[in-house]
Amino acid sequence: MITLYGFGEGFGLPEISPYVAKTEVHLRMAGLAYEKARGAPFEAPKGQLPFIDNDGVVIGDSTFIRGYLERTYGIDFDEGLSPRQRAEAWAIERMVENQLGWIMAQSRWLIPENFAKGPTHFFDGAPQGVREAALEGVRQAVVAVGVGRHSELEALALGVRSLAAISTILGDKPYLFGARPCGADATVFAMLAAILTPFFECELRRRAEGFGNLVAYVDRLMAQFYPGFDWDVESPLRASMAA
């Protein structure tokens, strides 16, 4: 039995981490039986979540978990895609995870009001100083990847450009490349949901809500992969789309 280790529900999302959600959607896309358990980064083989334990085989990092699932169970999450589309899917995932994901993290951790209502509670009951050390670690990581070296407006502009690129690629299709989801859909859906959750206030979320096809995409995939979850549909844009 596969055990998926993640953070669990929170922040208005079925899974706090978009990287854990990505793996969970892959498991559901593949129809693989699994159980989910709360994990901690220090328990993970790469010091981050998610990781899986498949009867003693432990794999860390969502991208390498995907590769393991494909090799072990004979799955091709990109079945039906042309070589060009497979290359485009990889490029989309790298844009989403290696840049947009850091801008999302910055909005959760480095906007004081958002940190106070969200990530700070990861450290409830922890020894004094752990919370501050973790926050400083995120701050340094955001600077190291480059996003934190920009002004707020510059980082926002990069995020909006990525959102616009995803919106253009998606168009009016149900999934990124047509009528069926591929591996990159799990990545994009999970990150967009993390941005669109109404739990956090930030300009990136407000800009994302301006892309109607992205809002509809997240709503649609949330209903498909997390049908029992009460996803918020009360934003003004969603209300206008439903009217």
| Number of Cβ atoms within 10 Å of the Cβ of 110 | 17
Q: What is the mean pLDDT of residues 192-207?
A: 98
pLDDT band at 232 (very low <50, low <70, confident <90, very high): confident
Q: What is the mean pLDDT of residues 217-235?
A: 89
Whether residue 157 is predicted with pLDDT greater than 70 in this model: the reply is yes
Provide, rounded to the nearest whole percent, the portion of the chain with pLDDT above 70. Answer: 95
Q: Token pair for residue 214?
A: 């992205």
Domains and CATH numbers, the chain: 2-73 (3.40.30.10), 83-228 (1.20.1050.10)
Calpha distance 204→209 (Å, rounded) = 9
| pLDDT of res. 238 | 52
Whether residue 39 is predicted with pLDDT greater than 80 in this model: the reply is yes
Average per-residue pLDDT for the chain: 95
Whether residue 240 is predicted with pLDDT greater than 60 in this model: the reply is no
Range with the poorest average pLDDT among 10-14, 86-90, 228-232: 228-232
Whether residue 129 is predicted with pLDDT greater than 60 in this model: the reply is yes
Whether residue 237 is predicted with pLDDT greater than 90 in this model: the reply is no
Which residue shows structure tokens 């809500």?
A: 209
What stretch of H or E contains 133? helix 130-144
Peptide bond between residue 14 and the one before it cis (omega within 30 degrees of 0): no
**pLDDT, tens digit, 9 for 90 and up, residues 16-33:** 999 999 999 999 999 999
Whether residue 116 is predicted with pLDDT greater than 80 in this model: the reply is yes
> What DSSP line would sit under 19-30, residue for residue?
HHHHHHHHHHHH
What pTM was computed for the model? 0.94
Non-local (6+) Cβ contacts of 154 within 8 A are none
| pLDDT of res. 128 | 84
| pLDDT of res. 243 | 47
Whether 168 and 180 have beta carbons less than 8 Å apart is answered as no
Residue 235, classified by CB atoms within 10 Å of its CB into exposed (0-12), middle (13-18) or buried (19+), is: middle
Whether residue 53 is predicted with pLDDT greater than 80 in this model: the reply is yes
What stretch of H or E contains 2? strand 2-6
